[in-house]
Structure 1
Amino acid sequence: MLDASPEGDRTPSTVSTPRLVGRDRELVALRSAVARPPAIVLVEGEAGIGKSRLLREWLAAPEQRSALVSVCPPLRESLTLGPIVDAFRGIDRPVSRLPLTALAGALRPLFPEWSSDLPPALEPLDDAKAARHRLFRALDELLRALGVDVLVLEDAHWADEVTLEFLLFLTSRQQSDGPSLVISYRPEEVDVGSLLLRLTSRLPAGVTQLRIALAPLRPDDTAALVSSMLDGNPISQEFTTFMHERTGGVPLALEESVRLMHDRADLVVRDGQWFRLKLRELQVPPTVRDSTRERVGRLSPTAQQVLRAAAILAERSSVATIASTAGLSPAACRGAVVEAAGAGVLDGDEHDRWRFRHVLAATAVYEAIPLADRRQLHLRAGRALEDVHPPPVARLAHHFREAGETQSWARYAEQGAELAMASGDHTKAVDLLVDLLSGTELPAADRARVARIAGVAALGRREPVDDVYHRVIRTLRSVLETPGLSARQQAEIRNPLGRLLIIGGEAQTALRELAQAVASLDHDPVEAARAMTYLGWAYAGPWPAATHRRWLDRAAELAVEIDSPAERLNLAGNRAAALLMLGEEEAWDVVADLPVDGASAAERLDVARIHANVGTGALIWGRYAEAEKHLAVAMDLAEAEQASRLQHNVRLEQANLAWLTGRWEGLAERSAALADADRDRPACYLGSIRLAARLAAAAGRRRAAEEQFRLVLEEFARLGAADDTMEAAAALARLWLAEGHSGRALQVTNAPMETVGNKGIWVWATDLVPARVEAHLAAGDVRAATQVCDQFARGLRGRTAPAPRAALAVCRALLAAAAGDHARAAAAFDRAARAWSALPRPYDAMLARARQAEALIAHGHLAAGRELLAAQYELLFRIGARGDADRVAQRLREHGAEVPRLWRGGRRGYGDQLSPRELDVVQLVVAGKTNREISRILAKSPATVDQQLRAAMRKLKVTSRTALAVKAVEAGVFAEDDSFHDLS
C-alpha cells in the first residue's frame, strides 16, 4: 500500500514479496521434465539467482505428485546423510503402516525415533561398503513405500559425500521406475573432486534429463521484479538501469536492495512511476554483504588479496594490473585469479581482463578494506594504470584522489575532462572537475583554470537543470572568492557562470556577471563577442534598448574578425534572436538565412538553440506560422541530439503557441507535465504555471488564476526577467477590472509600464497596454489612456509586428467606446478582431467581437449586436473559455436575448461534486505537486490545502493521492468544470 497522507511524492508503507519474473520458460521446462518420470533435473546458478524460488513456485502448483524436499545446510562439517534424513522427517504418514521388508531395519541408526515402528535391527556387516549399500537399498525401499514421486535436494554443493553417493545410487536404479530427482546447486561452489560432478556428467540413458542454468534477469525483468514489490506501479527507466547495473540482475540482490531503500525512505512514486531519490550509490544489503564476505573468506589469503585489488580497481583489469595493485607476482596473481573465478566471484573476458561478477559483491569487499589499506591500494592501482596505453585518465584521477596524491589527481582530472568533452560526455567532465575543485586546495592559477573548464563543460550538458547544474554554480562562485585571482581569471569564470545563470532563469544576476566579465575578455574575441551578445538580450536589467543594441553592435564588430564559421553562425543566430527581443525589424533578414542543420553534434545543438530562440521571438511579434516552423526545426534537432533541457524549452513554447492559436485541447495536461518536468528551472517552471493560469482565467476560475498569475509576476520580478512580468500583470489587471477594481489594475501595471517605457521595447506590450488603457478609462482618466495608446503607436512605427498592432487596434477601439462614438468603436473592434483572426489568435478575436457586439447594441443595432454576441458566446464556450462565455451569457440576458443551452445543466450546491477550489487543488495533485508547492502556487495556507485535499478524497471515495489523481482523470472531473464557474 501507499502512504495515504496527503503529501507530494508517495512512499511505500510496505514492500511486498516479489513475484517470480523472467523464469517462465524454465518453469515450463521443469514441469514438463518431471511429468515424464523418471527424471533427473539439475538446477544450477550462483547464490541469489533464484534457484529456491523457482523450485518453490513449481512445488506450489496444484499437481498430483508426492515430493520430499530437503536443503543442505552450509555446515563446516556436513552430517552424514543429514539432508536425506531431514527430508524423511517431514513425512506425515505412520511408518508402521508402510509395506516395509526386514531390510528397513538398517534404518534404525538413522531414525531412532521410529524404533518401535521399524523392523528389527540387522546384523552388522564387516564390509563398510556392503553396509552402506544395504543402507542405500533400505532408503530406496522407504522412498518407494511412501510413494515419493520426486526427491528435491537444494544446495547440493554443501552435501556430504555419503548423501551424494546415495543420489548416485538412486540414479542407477531409476530405470526400475524410481523417484525423480530435482537437485539445485552452485557450480562455483563444487570442488574438483566432488561426486556431484559425476552426478551432473554421467546421467543414465532412458531417463528424462534436464539441466536448467539460471542466468541473471534482463533489464525489463529487473523492472518487473522491483515493480511487483511496490504495488505494481512501474519504475522509471533511470531507476531500472541503476538497479540492473548495480545488482547484475540477481533477484536476491534486487529484493534486498529494494527493502533496504524502503527502510531508508529512498523510494517515491511520481506521476505513477517509482523513482529513487538518490541514484548515486546503492548500499550493500546485509544479506548480500554477509554472503559475499563468507564466500570470500573461504578462499586462500592470496585470492583474498587479489579480490581486494579487484574491488579497488572496480573495472575490468589485466592480470598484470591486478598483480601490481595487490603487490603480488604475476604468477601468484594468475593462480589466485583462477581460484576466485572458479568460486564464481571474478569474471573474465576474451581479453583476459577481470572484474567482480557483481557490483554489490565488489562493494562489499571494498567496504571491508581498512581505510589505510585502501589508500595504499589506490596508490598502487594508479601507478599500475599509468603503464596502460592509452592511459585511462578518469580512472587514474579517481585512484590518485583516493590515495591523496593531489598533483596526479589534478593532472588526470583535467585530461579526463578534456577527453569527456571531446566525446560529448560533458556531465562526466563536470563531475571530474567539480570534484577536484571541491576536494582539494589547488594554487590560485590552477583553480581558476579548472573552474573555467568546468563552467564551459557545464554549458555543454544536454541534461535538464539538476543537482550537477546547481553544484557547478556553487563551485564557480566559491572559486571567485579565491584570493589572488587576476581580473582576467575572474572574467574567464564569470563568463560561463553568467550563461549558466541565464539557463537557470536568474537573469538579473546573470547580466551582472557578464558585464563584469566583458571588461577583461579582450584576449579572447570569441568569448568577448559571445558575452556581449548575451548582454544584448533585453529580458533583464534596467538598460534601455539602445544600450542592449550597442552591446550587439560591439559583438558584431568583433565577429568580423572571427575565422570559425561555426562561431560566426552562433553569434549571428544569437544576435538575430536578441534583435527580435528588441523589436528590431532587421532581425528577420538574418533569420531568413539560418541553416536548419549542422555538420557536427555541437553545431546541430547550436542551430537548435538559435531556432528555439527565434521561435520565442516570433511568438512575441505575433508571427505564429514562423514560430511554428522554427520551433519544429529546434525540436527535431534537439530530439536527434537527445538534448532534454532544450526539448523542455521548445515544448513550453509550443504549448504557448497552442494557447495563442486556440488549440486548447489537452493543454491543461501539457502545462501540468511541463511544470513537473521543469521544476528545477524557475523560468520554465513559472512559464508552465502561467499557461495553467491562462486556462484557469478563461475557464472562470478566478481565484486560482489570480493566485497563479500573482506567483508568476512576483517570481519573475524577483529573478529580474522584465519581459515575463508583462502578461502576468496584464492578466491580473483584467481580473481586477472585471470586479471593478481599477485602482488595483493600475497599480499592478505601473512597474511593467515603466519598464516598457524606459527600455522602449513596445513589442512586449501586446497584453499590457490594452489592460492599462482600460484601467485608465475605468478610473475616468481618458487623457492618460490616450497618452498610453499614442506611446504604443509611436513605439510600433516601422515594425511589422502583427500581435502588438492588433493590440493597438483594441486600444483605439476602447478609446472610441469611452468617447461614446459607438459606430466608430464597432468598426474599430471589427478591425481588431480581423487583425487577431489573421494571426490567428481566435480567443482574442472572440473577445474583440464580443466588444464589437456591445458597441453595435449601444449604437442601436440591437438585433445585429445580439446575434454577434450569441455567436461569440457559443465560440467561447466551445473553445473552453467558459468564464468569458458566462459573462457574455449574462450580457445576452441583460439585452433580452435567450441564451443557447450548450451544457448539461449545473448545480447550485456542490454536494458530492468538487468545488472550484477543490478542483484547483486536485489539478495540481494530478500534476504531481506537494502540499507545500500547492500552497505556494495557490497562495493558500498549508492547512487550507490539506482540508480541501481531504474533502476531494472523501468526495471521490479514495484514500491516497495517487488514487485521487487516477480517479479524477478517469472521472473526467475537469471536463465538467463548467458547472462550477463563478458567474458574473
Structure 2
Amino acid sequence: MREREWDTAVRGPLASGAPVLVLVEGEAGTGKTRFVQWLLALPELGRAPRLTVNFKASGASIVHDYPPAKGTASAGPEATAVRRSGSLQPRALRPGAPATPSWLAPLAASSLGELASSLGTGAPVLLVAEDVHRADEQVARALRTLLADPPAGLRVVLSYRPEDLARPGLVLGAPVGYPAELPVIRLRLGALGEAEVRRMAVEALGEDRCSAPFLARLHERSGGIAQVVADLLEELKAAAPLPRSGTAKAGQKRFTARDVDEADVPVRLAESVVGRLAALDEEPRRVVWAAAVLDESLSEDDLASVAGLPTGSIRAALMTALSEAVLHEPGPCRYGFRVPMAAAAVYHLIPGPVRRELHGRAAEALASRRPVPWARLAHQQKASGRTADWLESVENAAREAVEAGDYALAIGLLEGTLAHSDVRQPTRARLALMLAQSATRGLHSDKTLEVLRRVVDDRALPAATRGEVRIELGKLLLVVARGNEARAELRAAVDELSNRPALSARAMSVLGVPYWPGSGPLADNLAWLQRAETAAAGSGDAALQVSVAATRAAVMVCVGDPDGWRCLEQLPRESDDPRILQHSAWGLCCAANAAIWLGEYAKARELQAEGMKLYARSEVPFAEQVSRGTSLLLDMETGHWAGLATWARLYVAEAGEVLGATGEAMLVLGLLALAKGELDQVDTWLSGAGLSGDGSPVPRVAAASGGRIRLALAREDLTAAAREAAEAWARLQAASVWVWAAELAPWAVEATVRFGGLDTAQEMVDEFAAGIESRQAPAAAAALMWCRALLAAAHGKLLEAADYFRRARKCYQALPRPYEAALVAEAGGRCALRGGLETTTGLQELSAATHELEALGATWDAARVRAELRAHHSTQLPRPPGRPGYDERLSPREQEVAQLAGDGLSNREIAATLYLSPRTVEQHVARAMRKVGALSRHDLARKVRNGEPEG
C-alpha cells in the first residue's frame, strides 16, 4: 500500500510544526490527487489552519480551512476563490466563519508574495498547492520568494507533473534559494507494482474473475499508471458486471489477457496522448506514428528507419516528441509510450496508406535483425499486405516456439492465422496439425477448439490430415469435460485413418479410457485398448507402444485392477526420446489421479511426484496445471485443509482462459464450502461445467453429485436429493466401474432411504458390493461399510448400524480420511444414543466427532453435532429453574446461530442443522445482532469470529 510509503516519508516532518517543503512529483494519473486527499485527512494536520490551492487550466481554486473550535464538529471549507489575471481573489466567507486570520489577509493582494509578512506569529500553517506546473510566472515568483525565506511554522506541499514543467527540472520555473535549515523532501509517485495492480483489480472485479495472465497483461499494458488501471477496470466491469453477491460463479466470465488487448483505450488516456500529438509538426508526428506501429520500445535508428526520416532530421524530431511528453525513454537509448496502451490510440489516427507504408518499413527493419523476431515480423508483414511472407514467418515463429517449449505462443500465433481465409492448402494442413499438437501440450483456450473444429470440417483437407487433427481435437474435448463430443471425434478419426494404423492406434488408445460418460461399458473400453495394442505392436514405433502401454496401466489402476500397479512399474523411466518420457509421465500422473478415487493416497503422492519429474525432463508445461488439480484433491481427501480453499481459488483464477483441469479445484471448493456451511457457495462451485454429467470424468461427477445430494438433504429437499441420487447412480451403471461410487454411494443411499425407497437402496448397496468385489479400492470398501450401516439403521437395527459405522470409521482412519471418519463417528453415536443401550459410548463418539470436525474447520458439521449433544444432555439432566443468565453476552446457542447465519445459511437451513424451529432461529439471530451491534448477518458472524465484545 502506498499509504505506508507516504507515512514513512512525510508524515513525521509535516506533523512536527517546523518549516518543511514536500515536492510531490508524478506524471498524469500516478496518484498525486490521492496523495493530497490522504494528506489532508491526517488528524494531526487538521488542528492547524491550512490553505489549499489547486491550479487548473481554467484558473486556480482556493480553499481556506480552519481548525474546529473545541467541542465542535470539524469545520468544512470556509472560503473559496478563483484566480483571475494572475491574482488570487477570495470569495466571501461562509456565514458564521471565524474572522480571517492575519496570515490569510494577503490573499486579497495581487500575489502570494505578501504571505511571508503575515506569518510572523510562528503558528503552524499548511500550504498545499496542487499542479503547480500550471501556475503562471507571477504566482511562481511569489512562491519562490516565500520559500526562499519561509516563516516559522510554514509547511508547504507542492505537486506537479514533471513532463509539463515550463523548464524541465525547475518546479517553480526558476531556481529557488532554499535556506539551509529548510528540509526539502521529494516524493516521486511512479508506476504501480504488480501487487498494487492486482489489489485494484480484485477489489473492482472479484478475486475469482482475475486470472494471472489477465493481471500480468493489465499491469503491462497500463504501464502501472493508477488512473489508467482504474479506467480500464471500470470498462471491463461495465462489460461483464459482477453478480449481486459480488463473487464470480463457476462458468461466469473470467477475465483473460485477451480482454485487456481487446479493451478500448480509456478516454482520459486517449485524449491526453492525442492532444499532445496534435501539437507536433510533421516530422515529430511521424516518429510517434512509427512508435505506434512497432508498439515497443525502440532505438533511435529503428524509429528513423520506420518513420522514413533522414538521419539529420530524426534527432530533432525525437527531441520534440520527448519534450512534449508524447514519447518517453523507458530505458537507456530506448524510446516508446509511457503507457503502452496509448500506442493504440495513436495507431487508429494514422491514415491507411501511411500506416501500410510504415508497416512495410517495420517489416524490413525486423527482417534484418539476428535472430529474426519471427512473431513480430509476421504481424508487420500481415499489416503491410505481404500474405505469403506473413504465412512463412508465422510457421517459422510457431516452430521456433514449439522447439523452445513455448506452446502458448505457438497456439496464439496459429489460432489467429488459421482463422484467416487467405490460408490455403497445403499451408493450412501443416499449420492446423502444428496447432493441434501444440494444444495438447500447452495451455489452450476455447478459441483453439473453435479453430480446430473448422479445420476438421474442411473437406478440402486430406482425410489423413483431418484424422490426425481430429485425434488432438478429441483429446482436448476430453480435457474440457465434453466427453460425448470427444468420443465422436475419435471414432471419426479411426475411420479417417484406416490406412494409417499407427495414427489410428492413438485414437483407439484414447477410446479405451473409461473415464468419461458414454465411454462404457468397461468391456468396450478394454476392446478398444486391445485393438490399439495390436496396431501399435505392428507399427514398430517404440513411442507409440509406450503410449498405449501407459494408457493400459492407467486404465487398470483406475478400475481397481491389482495388476495395474505392475503395469506402471514396467513403463520406461529412462530414454533419449522425449516422447517416451512424456507418455510414461502421462501414465503415471493419470494413475496418481485414479489412485485418489481408489483411496490409495500414499501411492497417489508417489506416482504424482515421479510423473512430474519425467514431465519436467520432457518440458511439458500443461502437466503442472493437471498436477495442481490432483494435489488439491489429494489434500482435501486426506484432511489437509489449512489454506486449501485459498490455493484452490488461486488455481481457478490463474487458469484464466485455459480450459483444463480446474474441475478438481472447483470440486474441492464446493465440498469445503459444504463442510463450512457456506451453502450458497456450494451451488456456485458444484454447478460448473466440469462437474456436470454431460461430459466430465465419471468419478469427479460422482463426487460432485454426492455434494449436491448433501446440499439438498440439508435443505430438506428430499425430492431433489433422490433425483440427483438416481441420475448419478445411472451414470455409474453405464460406466460399470463401481470403485468410483466411493464418494457418492453413502449419500445416494441415504437420500433414497429418506425418500422412502428402502428396497431401491438395498438394490443399490448390493450392486455396489458386487461391483467392487475383487477390486483393490479401500475407499470404496469403507463407503460400502457406511452404506450397510445406513440400511441397518433404516431397518431399525440400531446397534448393528452402530457397529457398521464403527467399522467404517476404522477404515476411513486407516486411509486416512479424517472428515469421513468424523462423519461416521457422528452417525454411529446417534445410533448408539437412539438404541438406548450404549449411551456413554454414543456420547464419546459424538464428542470425538465434534473435536475432529472443529480441527478440520468443518464448522457447519461441528455445529450440527454439538446440537445433538446439547439436545441429549437437555433431556437427561434436570434443568435448574429459570433461564441461564447471559445478560448482554451471547449464549452458546446464539453463538452457533450467529456463525451459521454469517456463513450464508438461511433460517430454515440453520433450523434443520440445529434441530430448532425457524421461528426460534429468527429470535436467536435478532438477539445476537442486538447484543453485538451487528448491522447484517455477515457482520454478526465477523464480530463473533473476531472475538469482539459480546455486548
TM-score (norm 1): 0.67
What's the counterpart of residue 496 of structure 1?
A: 472
What's the counterpart of residue 365 of structure 2?
A: 384
Change in 2 beyond 3 A, CA 1:296/1:461: same
Q: For 1:616, which of 593, 597, 605 is the aligned residue?
A: 593
CA distance in 2, matches of 1:179, 1:854: 76
What's the counterpart of residue 577 of structure 1?
A: 554
State the 1:851 CA deviation.
9.8
Deviations 1:736-767 (A, max 9, x none): 99999999999977777776667654434557
1:245 aligns with 2:220: yes
CA contact (8 A) 2:194 2:219 kept: no
Secondary structure of 1:359's aligned partner: coil
Secondary structure of 1:315's aligned partner: coil
Q: For 1:329, which of 310, 313, 332 is the aligned residue?
A: 310
1:398 aligns with 2:373: no
CA contact (8 A) 2:131 2:160 kept: yes
CA distance in 1, matches of 2:480, 2:241: 27
- Equivalent runs, 1:772-851 vs 2, <5 Å: 789=766, 792-793=769-770, 796-797=773-774, 799-805=775-781, 838-840=814-816
CA contact (8 A) 1:437 1:447 kept: yes
1:657 aligns with 2:633: no
Change in 2 beyond 3 A, CA 1:480/1:92: same
State the 1:504 CA deviation.
1.0
Change in 2 beyond 3 A, CA 1:333/1:69: same
Secondary structure of 1:212's aligned partner: strand
CA contact (8 A) 1:223 1:235 kept: no
CA contact (8 A) 1:266 1:276 kept: no
CA distance in 2, matches of 1:227, 1:746: 42
State the 1:306 CA deviation.
0.9
Change in 2 beyond 3 A, CA 1:552/1:26: same
Q: Which amino acid aligns with 2:277?
A: V
1:451 aligns with 2:447: no
Deviation larger for 500-509 or 180-189: 180-189
What's the counterpart of residue 73 of structure 2?
A: none
Q: For 1:216, which of 152, 173, 190 is the aligned residue?
A: 190
CA distance in 2, matches of 1:813, 1:576: 34
- Equivalent runs, 1:240-639 vs 2, <5 Å: 241-254=216-229, 257=232, 278-348=259-329, 352-462=333-443, 469-521=445-497, 528-540=504-516, 541-556=518-533, 572-592=549-569, 610-630=587-607
CA contact (8 A) 1:323 1:329 kept: yes
Secondary structure of 2:296's aligned partner: coil
CA distance in 1, matches of 2:630, 2:254: 25
CA distance in 2, matches of 1:224, 1:471: 26
CA distance in 1, matches of 2:649, 2:686: 18
CA distance in 1, matches of 2:715, 2:141: 94
State the 1:42 CA deviation.
6.6
State the 1:580 CA deviation.
1.3
Secondary structure of 2:460's aligned partner: coil
CA distance in 2, matches of 1:210, 1:679: 47
State the 1:265 CA deviation.
6.8
CA contact (8 A) 1:51 1:214 kept: no
Return the index of the structure with the highest Cα Rg. Answer: 1
- Equivalent runs, 1:89-168 vs 2, <5 Å: 89-90=89-90, 142=114, 144-147=116-119
State the 1:433 CA deviation.
1.6
- Equivalent runs, 1:728-739 vs 2, <5 Å: none
- Equivalent runs, 1:188-203 vs 2, <5 Å: 188-189=163-164, 200=174, 203=177
Secondary structure of 1:280's aligned partner: helix
CA contact (8 A) 2:505 2:536 kept: yes
Q: Which amino acid aligns with 1:657?
A: E
Structure 2: gaps of 5 or more residues: 60-81, 94-100, 854-860, 880-889, 911-920, 947-951
CA contact (8 A) 2:663 2:690 kept: no
Change in 2 beyond 3 A, CA 1:295/1:749: closer
Change in 2 beyond 3 A, CA 1:479/1:150: same
Deviations 1:63-117 (A, max 9, x none): 8688795848599xxxxxx989634535999xxx999xxxxxxx9xxx9x98xxx
State the 1:322 CA deviation.
2.2
State the 1:314 CA deviation.
0.8
CA distance in 2, matches of 1:813, 1:181: 79
Seq. identity, %: 26
CA contact (8 A) 1:814 1:825 kept: yes
Q: Which amino acid aligns with 1:248?
A: G
Deviations 1:647-690 (A, max 9, x none): 5522442255237xxx7889899989988888999997776776
Change in 2 beyond 3 A, CA 1:206/1:815: closer
CA distance in 2, matches of 1:802, 1:374: 68
CA contact (8 A) 2:929 2:937 kept: yes
Q: Which amino acid aligns with 1:490?
A: R
TM-score (norm 2): 0.69
Change in 2 beyond 3 A, CA 1:888/1:161: closer
CA distance in 1, matches of 2:433, 2:788: 53
State the 1:493 CA deviation.
1.8
Secondary structure of 1:440's aligned partner: coil
Secondary structure of 1:718's aligned partner: coil
Secondary structure of 1:217's aligned partner: coil
CA contact (8 A) 2:19 2:150 kept: no
CA contact (8 A) 2:299 2:333 kept: yes
Matched positions, count = 865
- Equivalent runs, 1:661-700 vs 2, <5 Å: none
Q: Which amino acid aligns with 2:464?
A: R
Change in 2 beyond 3 A, CA 1:534/1:301: same
CA distance in 1, matches of 2:680, 2:156: 70
CA contact (8 A) 1:20 1:53 kept: no
State the 1:530 CA deviation.
4.3
CA contact (8 A) 1:953 1:964 kept: no
What's the counterpart of residue 86 of structure 2?
A: 86
State the 1:538 CA deviation.
0.8
State the 1:25 CA deviation.
6.1
Change in 2 beyond 3 A, CA 1:496/1:231: closer
CA distance in 1, matches of 2:25, 2:287: 26
Higher relative contact order (CA 8 A, sep 6+): 1
Cα RMSD for the two superposed structures: 6.7
CA distance in 1, matches of 2:196, 2:226: 8
Secondary structure of 2:694's aligned partner: helix
CA contact (8 A) 2:436 2:473 kept: yes
Secondary structure of 1:368's aligned partner: coil
Q: Which amino acid aligns with 2:89?
A: R
Structure 1: gaps of 5 or more residues: 1-17, 76-81, 100-106, 115-137, 463-467, 924-947, 974-984
Change in 2 beyond 3 A, CA 1:965/1:602: farther
Change in 2 beyond 3 A, CA 1:159/1:621: closer
CA distance in 2, matches of 1:394, 1:556: 40
Deviation larger for 810-819 or 305-314: 810-819
CA contact (8 A) 2:474 2:490 kept: yes
CA distance in 2, matches of 1:735, 1:47: 52
Deviations 1:775-823 (A, max 9, x none): 89997979x96998489548633x4333445566778899999999999
CA distance in 2, matches of 1:478, 1:524: 23
CA contact (8 A) 1:533 1:551 kept: yes
CA distance in 1, matches of 2:575, 2:187: 50
